[in-house]
Amino acid sequence: MREAIRQYVEHGEKHEAYRQDGLRAWAAYEQTGLPVSHAEADTWLKQLANGDDKKPPACHS
């Protein structure tokens, strides 16, 4: 039972961290108007999904 609760909480924390990353990215875009390409974002998201805690790609015009 404790393991199930631990996994549930861990999943919730990861989900919230992912959501916060998205909110930060949107705020940065609103401030700068600088995007990242779809390929750059896709590569970064795949790394995150694989458990690699990578920094997001740099924005550019």
pLDDT (tens digit per residue) in 10-60:
999 999 999 998 898 888 888 888 888 889 999 999 999 999 988 888 888
User: Could you tell me if 12 and 29 are in contact, meaning their C-beta atoms sit under 8 angstroms apart?
Assistant: no
pLDDT of residue 37: 86
Q: Which two tokens stand for residue 35?
A: 């995007």
> Over 70: is that where the pLDDT of 3 sits?
yes
Q: Which amino acid appears at position 17 of this protein?
A: A
Question: Dihedral angle at the C-alpha atoms of 53, 56, 57, 58, nearest 10 degrees?
Answer: -130
User: Could you tell me if 36 and 58 are in contact, meaning their C-beta atoms sit under 8 angstroms apart?
Assistant: yes
pLDDT of residue 61: 63
pTM score: 0.56
Strands (E), the chain: none
pLDDT of residue 15: 96
pLDDT of residue 59: 81
